[in-house]
Each structure stands twice: as C-alpha cells, then as structure tokens.
Structure 1
Amino acid sequence: MTKIAILGGGVSGSLLAYLLRTRTNYEVNLFDIKDKYVKPCGDIVPNVYTPPIPWDVKFRIKRFAFYLDGELIHDIEYRNTKWLVIDKWGWINKMREKVKTYHQSKFNRKNYDKVIDAKGPYDMDREVVYTTRALVKTEKFDDVAVFEFDTKYTGFYWIFPNEDGILNIGAGFLEYKNSRELILKYIKEKYGNAKIIDIRGAPISISPVKDKNYRIGEARGLVFPLSGEGIRPSAISAERAFEALYKEENFNEYMENSLKKLHYAVDIQHMLLRVYRYSSLSLRRSLLRILFKNDILLDAYLEDKITFEGISESVKAIKNGGLLRK
C-alpha cells in the first residue's frame, strides 16, 4: 500500500489528505504543529469556485468601498454575490477529523513513499507580509467589504462582515511588521471600545517561490499578493495534486502543467506589486485611483483575474449588467 505524508494541515494539506483518505486506498497521514487549524485571515473567497468538499457560507458580499488616505474613492454594488465569507476553520477542521493527524515532530521521512509539502510560508524561503486579524463585535455592523489604503505603506486595512454583529478587521503592510499595533489603533479610531473577540497574526507570502517540487498551496507560492487571497488557489492545487497521485502521474510535471494559468496570474500580481512598492507616494495615489475608478480593472482585482484573459472576462460581465453603481 502506498504511504503518503502531508506536512501542514491548512487548506491545501487538509483537502488533499481528505480526498486521498476517502477516495483511495492509500495510507495517508497528516502532520502539523497544531491539533486544530487556527490560522487567521479574511475568510473571503471570490464566488467563482466550488470546492469538492463544501464549505459553510456565513455571508454573501455584493457591496465594496475603497478608501485612499482616509478619503472614500469608490463605492460599488454588484447585482450578484461577488464574494463569499466562509467558515474556513470549521471547513478545515471537519476534513482533518477524517485523517490521522500527528504532531510534526513525529514525522520520519523514511516511513513514506511520497511526502507532500503543504506547510504554507513557514519554511520562510520567500518574502512575507505579517498580517493581524481581529474579530470585533460592534453595533456599527454593515454588509460592505471595505479596503483602506495608506500610501505610506505597501498593503491595506480591511473590514469584512463575518456574521451578524461581528466584523473581520485586519491589516498587513510590508514596511511595518508590527501590524498588531496598527490594527488596534485602527479599530479604536473606527469603533471606539468595541469588544475584540479574537486577535491573532500570521505571515502571508508575497514573493515567488523557487522550489515548487512536491509542494502545494501557499508552500508552492499560490497566494495572490495584491489581495492576499490564498484559499481558492490552495484548494485548486490540492485537487490537482489528488489527480496526480490518484492517476500515478509524474507529480511535479503534472502540477506544473495543470497550474500554469494560476501561476501566470500570481506572477503578474508579483510584478504589479513590485511596481507599486518602489513607486513614489504620488504615483501610488495615481495608480490606486486608476484602479478604483475603473469598473473593469476593479472587477478583475476582486476576482484575482488581472490578466489579459481575465480583464476580457470582466468586460463581458460588466456589459451583461453585472454591477450597480452606488
């Protein structure tokens, strides 16, 4: 019997382990440093993907507001759900319950035929941005997703509806590693002494990864650096990894070929991030104003499809009446 070890129990590792455990006769063991999944993020997924194992949807977002240096630049509402707020922790932990999970210290390479790296950014072999996310209970709840950019930094604040009465508020900036300090100040300015239910931080990949062999998800660099969205690309990579293992394909060749378009989209965002990062403050403001004021580019940004093909899709969506102006 083929024995497979998966290192890391996040989105990609847990989904791959679950698929292998329930749909093959392979022996699959998952290794992680935590008994339960607790990594924080915005819990947002563009409404263009359905995972093979369903997740619970907590909120459907149609409205978005964009602020630049404290000024509201654009407010837009789509006719249909643009983003889903999902119960990411619940989804991952349910999958992990079906798989034998051990502490990472117990892993021994010689006991396995194949080892898949799903450890996210934690090998620290790429540049990361340190983000902090807080769940805040407040009476000022709204169903709009807010992005707030401060051009002094490379990154943004976010405010996303999580469930009735609770907001997911976070921040990540390349030039300011203590994002916890910034987010606590931001929450106080916006919501006074609102109750913080949970606050924790995590690194997010924002540069390419050189070694992709036997890697999936964020360990492979599959995070969109302009938005920080990694749930969907990680899940897709787990599906492709399952296919490669189930069909007994050459794993690395299969992954490289089947994820080519996804890597291309991520690479374009890496390039755009570098341009923004090394631009003057005035040029940063100009670039962001162009993005926020252009419905086509904004649509592509929200669905992480800033490629020629993706922008063409956005043009078609808008022509078909995909949004309402606010």
Structure 2
Amino acid sequence: MKVAIRGGGVAGSLLAYLLNNSGNEVEIFDIKGSYVKPCGDIVPNVYDPPKGWDVDYEIKRFAFLVDGEKIYDVSYRNPKWLVIDKWKWINSMRDKIPHKITIEPPKPERYDVVVDSRGPYPMDRKVVYTTRAIIRTEKFDDTAVFEFSSKYTGFYWIFPSKEGEYNIGAGFLEYKNSRELLLDYLKDHFEGYKLLDIRGAPISVERPKEKGNRIGEARGLVFPLSGEGIRPSAISAERAFQALIRGKDVSTSLDRELKVIEGRIKIQSILLNAYMSAKPSMRKVMMKTLMKNDVLIDAYLEDKIDLQGISESLRLMRSGEF
C-alpha cells in the first residue's frame, strides 16, 4: 500500500513504523521535522507497545490534594506508572520514514489511504491549554502529586521524571494562561530549583464529531479526567495497522476495536461536565468522595472508570496485589 499520515505524533508515528516494517510505502506530513509536544510523559504500567520505549522512572506512590489540602495518598507494591522518554520513542519511529514539512498531502489521490493523526490540532472540539515544566531540585520526592482546584476545572501535576527532576504542569479549562498559573505554582512550592524546559500545548477533553480515518488524539482518544493519551493513541495505531493489512475499513474497524476505551472516555466526559457545572463547594465534595476510595483511585490511575474496570480494581484489592 501507499499510505499518507497527517501528523507524526504517538499514533501517526507508530502506524508509520508498523506499515514501513511490513513493506508498505508511507509518508508522514507534519509541520515539524521532529516531535516536541510536551505532556506528563506518563503511561499506566499495563501496556507494552510493539516498538519499545525507554523507561526513565517508575512510580509507585501517589498523593491527591484539593486546594492545597492533602486528601489521600497511596502506595503500590509494583510500579503503577512508567515515565517514558516519549520524544525519543516517537522520533526513533519517524527517523526512517519520508517526512514532508506540511500537514496536507499535495496530491492525496496518489495514496491508497490517507490517515488523520493531527492530535488536537483540527481544533474541532473542546481543549484545555496546558503548560509543562521540567525542573531540577535537590529536594526530591518519588511521589506523583495531583492537586485539584475547586475554582477551576483541571489540576496541577508534579511527576518525578528521573532522580532529582520533576515534570510539573498545569491545565484548567476556565483559565487559558496555564503558563502564568504554573510559574506562580513553582514559586510557591519549590525553592532553589533550576528550570530546564517549559512549553505548552492543547490537550483534547472532548470527542470530535468526525472520526473517519482518524487515530490517536485526532479521534479524541484522551482520557479527559487525567489527560492520558499515549496508551490509547498507541493502541489505535495498532488496530488501524491490523485493519489496513487485512484490507478492512479503518473507521469501521476502530469503532469496533476501541469500543471499551471510547466507552470509558465517554464516562469521563460525563463526569467532567458534571464537575464543571457544579459550584466550588460541591466540587470539593465530589473530589473528596473520589479520593477516599481505594478502588476508584486505582480505576482513575489506570483510566478504567466503568463497571468492568472498577470490578477489576476491587478484585486486585481483595487479592492483595496492591
């Protein structure tokens, strides 16, 4: 086949890598020559991609705060989350693929299939504008921290990214200048830190109406309560690859294969909208209810908030696995 992929992020690069390794002709169309989009660089430790990634840190401990008040903390026996070198992983998949610095194939009719993997950049849905900083500090703790605000819809995060370094970010739907909020947060919470990198990017928190031949975040595959999109994007690339090499329709196949993931994203969207419409006092009640429940926290950390996922977390808790 001859395939054009619009966008070379997680899903687009992985799909291109798989197709190229199978002897197909692939071109990536992206406005940047290398991948640099920032995020938390976190994946739940439940998925192995077909092209392996480097793990920079393993996270076992988590703390949850609301308006600066610690509500709950939890530790797991085994790593719950992995911090990966996402940029290196994606660029290693792109380096052998022909790449054009544009987002549109000049003559799409030359290709058997054109796949849309532009992340949030069609901008045809609700997004949250996030800013992420990498800092180095002598005062280091191995706990991943979520700090929610009852004033805005979103959260600050503090994720250990490697020994002595943190990936710290902010994103709130009602406040677009997340850079300003993040810089103030750093001043209030850290002393004597060194800022290594800071940059921002939009993240989808709503599903697009049009999903045809879309994969990854372009299809809306981001969990809106956590912002995690690496794993569902990679899974969508795998499923799209399998459909293409079998001569199946990509859109129809993804509707079927991603039903569980998209169902969980829909549930999170409903919860997010309920949180947005609630008064600040009720928001605090909602967050405290979630954060004091072991099973719900486990389901939140693995983005499996539905009956099946909650039952799985309950089974793990009863078996003593965490």
Q: TM-score range by the shorter chain?
A: over 0.9
**TM-score normalised by L of structure 1:** 0.97
Match of 2:97 among 92, 99, 106: 99
- For residues 287-320 of structure 1, give each alpha carbon's deviation from its aligned partner in whole angstroms, at most 9, with x where no partner exists: 1001110000000000000000000000001111
Query: What 5-or-longer segments of structure 2 have no aligned partner?
Result: none
Q: Distance in 2 between matches of 1:44 and 1:106?
A: 30
Distance (Å, rounded) in 2 between the aligned partners of 1:103 and 1:79: 45
Count, aligned residues: 321
Residue 193 of structure 1: how far off its partner (Å)? 4.2
Residue 192 of structure 1 deviates from its aligned partner by 2.8
Q: Tell me the equivalent position of 1:223.
A: 222
| Distance in 1, Cα, partners of 2:250 & 2:128 | 30
1:55-66 aligned within 5 A: 55-66=53-64
> TM-score normalised to the size of structure 2?
0.98
CA contact (8 A) 1:130 1:179 kept: yes
1:285 equivalent in alignment to 2:289: no
| 2:33 aligned residue (32, 35, 41) | 35
1:55-204 paired onto structure 2 within 5 Å: 55-104=53-102, 107-108=105-106, 109-204=108-203
Structure 1: 4+ residue segments shifted above 4 A:
none
- Matched residue, 1:297: 296
User: C-alpha offsets along residues 174-203 of structure 1, whole Å, 9 cap, x if unaligned?
Assistant: 010000000000001111341110000000
Identity of aligned residues (%): 60
**One-letter amino acid of the structure 2 residue matched with residue 11 of structure 1:** V
CA shift, 1:34, in A, is: 0.7
Q: Which residue of 1 aligns with 2:14?
A: 15
Deviates more, 1:12-21 or 1:313-322: 313-322
| One-letter identity of the residue aligned with 2:171 | G
In 2, the alpha carbon distance for the partners of 1:231 and 1:106 equals 24
Give CA deviations for 1:125-184 in whole Å, capped at 9, x if unaligned. 000000000000111111110000111000000000111111000000001000000000
Partners of 2:197 and 2:147 lie apart in 1 by 21
Q: Distance in 1 between matches of 2:104 and 2:205?
A: 30
The answer on whether the counterparts of 1:188 and 1:194 sit within 8 Å (CA) in structure 2 is no
Q: Give the Cα–Cα distance (whole angstroms) in 2 for the partners of residues 122 and 141 of structure 1.
A: 35
Cα distance in 2 for partners of 1:290, 1:95 equals 42
Q: In the alignment, which residue of structure 2 is the partner of 1:261?
A: 260
Give the Cα separation in 2 of the matches to 1:197 and 1:250.
44
> Is the contact between residue 224 and residue 268 of structure 2 (CA under 8 Å) also seen in structure 1?
yes
What is the rounded CA distance, in whole Å, between the counterparts of 1:6 and 1:203 in structure 2? 21
Aligned to 2:49: 51
Structure 1 pair 106–166 and aligned structure 2 pair: CA distance change class (3 A): same
SS of the aligned residue for 1:55 comes to coil
CA contact (8 A) 2:27 2:98 kept: yes
Distance 1:105 1:86 in 2: 27
Q: C-alpha deviations, 1:26-73, integer Å up to 9, x for none?
A: 210011111110000000000111101110101110000111111111
Q: Alpha carbon RMSD of aligned pairs, Å?
A: 0.9
> 2:7 touches 2:103 (CA, 8 Å); kept in 1?
no
Q: Runs of 5+ in structure 1 lacking a partner?
A: none
CA distance in structure 2 between the aligned counterparts of 1:159 and 1:312, rounded to whole angstroms: 29
